[in-house]
Amino acid sequence: YSSLGGPAVDLEETSVVEDLLKRADIIIDAVFGTGFHGNLEGSIAKLFEFVNGLKAYRLAVDIPSGVSGFDGSVSDSSFKADKTVTFGLAKVGHFLYPGCGFCGEILVESAGFPKKIMNSLADSEVIDEEVISALLPERPRNSYKGSYGSVLVTGGSEVYTGAPYLSALGAFRSGCGMVYSYTPGGSASVIRNNLPEAIALVSDGDFLGPGDIKHLSKLMDRIDCVVVGPGIGRKEDSVEFVLQLLRSFPDKSFVVDADGLFAISKDLSVLSRSMEIVITPHPGEFGRLNEGRTDLESFMKFCSIHETRAILKGASSVFCDASGKISINTAGNTSFAAQTGDLDKSAILGMYFMGKAAELSRISESSNSASRIADSFSLVFKQFEQNAKERLHGTRP
């Protein structure tokens, strides 16, 4: 750089540095790399504050300075890039907020290492259309609704009547063949009036409790996956219902959400690798499960220690399997805040489809809702079907 006549300037010579930057058309940040942690301070922090206010095109090498490559956390005054060029493999911090908001367009260049070796060393993956296409099961023309699994939604209460309906709607829209619900009367009415395809069974009380378990025993022979928690509330009996339900049917797959997670926080021993359970907390709910810690490293450790699977919901949702390996969802927007037989794959598919449906929804993300997003699932399926046809006929790479 010096031999080509490039000037080396002391950062403390503020006026000289700022004058050079003002005259630049492109500003390249190669100060810190992916191992950065902590806070930018002093003259370097002031430099990036100044640079971020200029009109020049900003390019980051590997990752913008101030952004953590591990979890996407950022320092004040982090470099805000229009494009980031990284090498070998993308980093987790490129895809998680708030860091991904500083990266701009991400370009991955070859570092010369064999792809097979790099992939074998990776402890995380990015979920994109190519990954999802490989996971989606085929739907043979001679199949029927019984071919596509059955889901039971348990939840609802006198106060929260709509949540089980949204779960049942999501199950249908994602391709499930049969959807049952077991809820108090108010929630059952909402489901019957808005989703006639569902089989809505009614509890005797205003809240679910341990006494309801016996009513589900015979039904469970027909069920592949149970959703537990939406709208169930936090009464002592409802907490006990959730815990007993998880213990009573260890051969079933469970998705635990909402106040079902509150119940689990009272007894984490129900999380076991021998049981097929996926928990789906947002950061606040996960903090209750994990003594207030919600950072990515703590999330991965929690799943590994408790041998459970989890989706940490957010603008960039993250799935973690029971070994602590993560998969990052790149589909979705801020409005997004089970038939393969493999619970890990099913969780990844569900996470991606929810985000992609929000992305493709014709409704503005500012005024979108859960039911509107569910209605957009068909757009996601149509897109994948069209892409598959194009690949078959050689019109798509």
- CATH (domain of 33): 3.40.50.10260
Q: What is the pLDDT of residue 336?
A: 38
Is the pLDDT confidence value at 333 over 80?
no
Specify the pLDDT at position 116: 75
Statement to judge: residues 175 and 26 lie in one domain: no
pTM over 0.85: no
Co-location of 283 and 256 in the same domain: yes
**Do 152 and 235 lie in a common domain?**
yes
Residue 222 in domain: yes
- pLDDT tier at 334 (50, 70, 90 boundaries)? very low
Q: Within this chain, do residues 45 and 26 fall inside the same structural domain, yes or no?
A: yes
Q: Which of 45-54, 77-86, 108-117, 195-204 is least confident?
A: 108-117
Mean pLDDT of 236-247: 97
Residues 158 and 66 placed together within one structural domain of the fold: no
pLDDT at 358 over 80: no
Per-residue pLDDT of 33-45, as tens digits, reads 888 888 999 999 9
- Residue 270 and residue 378 in one domain: yes
Least trusted range by pLDDT, from 149-153, 184-188, 274-278: 274-278
- Inside any domain, residue 7: no
Give helix then strand counts, H and E, for the chain: 14, 14
pLDDT, mean of residues 269-297: 91
Residues 32, 161 within the same domain: no
On whether residue 89 sits in a domain, the answer given is: yes
Q: Are residues 226 and 315 in the same domain?
A: yes
- 127 lies in a domain? no
Task: Evaluate whether residue 2 is within a structural domain.
Answer: no
Model confidence at 159: pLDDT above 50: yes
Is the same domain home to 74 and 210?
Answer: no
Average pLDDT over residues 119-133: 74
Amino acid 105 reads E
Q: How many residues does the chain have?
A: 397
Whether residue 82 sits in one domain with residue 175: no
Domain final position from 58, 89, 122: 122
- The mean pLDDT of the chain is 85
What are the backbone angles phi and psi of residue 17, rounded to the nearest 5°? Answer: -60, -50
Which residue carries 């996971």 as its tokens?
Answer: 135
Q: Are residues 331 and 282 in the same domain?
A: yes
- Residue 396 phi/psi, 5-degree rounding, is -135, 135
Residue 338: the pLDDT is 35
Alpha helices in 94-153 (DSSP H): 115-121, 129-135
Element (H, E) at 351: helix 343-360
Count CA within 13 A, CB hemisphere, residue 321.
13
Q: Counting beta carbons within 10 angstroms of the beta carbon of residue 274, is it exposed (0 to 12), middle (13 to 18) or buried (19 or more)?
A: exposed
Helix 343-360 to helix 377-392 angle (10° resolution) is 100
Domain closes at, from 75, 99, 122:
122
In this structure, what CATH number is given to the domain that contains residue 306?
A: 3.40.1190.20
pLDDT in tens, 88-125: 888 999 999 999 999 999 999 987 777 777 766 677 88
Q: Could you tell me if residue 380 is inside a domain?
A: yes
Percent pLDDT > 90 in the chain is 55
> CA 62, CA 103: separation in Å to the nearest integer?
10
Q: Which of 35, 38, 97, 137 is nearest to 312 (CA)?
A: 97
Kindly report which listed range (27-36, 260-269, 330-339) carries the lowest average pLDDT score. 330-339
Instruction: Examine the domain organization and report whether 199 and 338 are in the same domain.
Output: yes
Check residue 337 and give its pLDDT: 39
Q: Which two tokens stand for residue 135?
A: 């996971």
Q: What does the alpha-carbon distance between residue 316 and residue 297 come to, in Å, rounded to a whole number?
A: 16
Q: Which domain holds residue 62?
A: 14-122
Domain end among 100, 122, 144: 122
Q: Average of pLDDT values for 341-368?
A: 65
Residue 339 pLDDT exceeds 60: no
Count of the separate structural domains present in the chain: 2
pLDDT in the model for residue 275: 76
pLDDT at position 35 is 82
Report whether pLDDT(317) > 50: yes
Q: Looking at the domain assignment, is residue 9 inside a domain?
A: no
- Do the domain assignments include residue 1? no
pLDDT confidence tier of residue 146, bands split at 50, 70 and 90? low
Rounded to 5 degrees, what angle do the CA atoms 373, 379, 380 make? Answer: 85
Question: Would the pLDDT of 396 be above 70?
Answer: no
* Predicted pLDDT at 2: 78
Per-residue model confidence (pLDDT) at position 114: 78
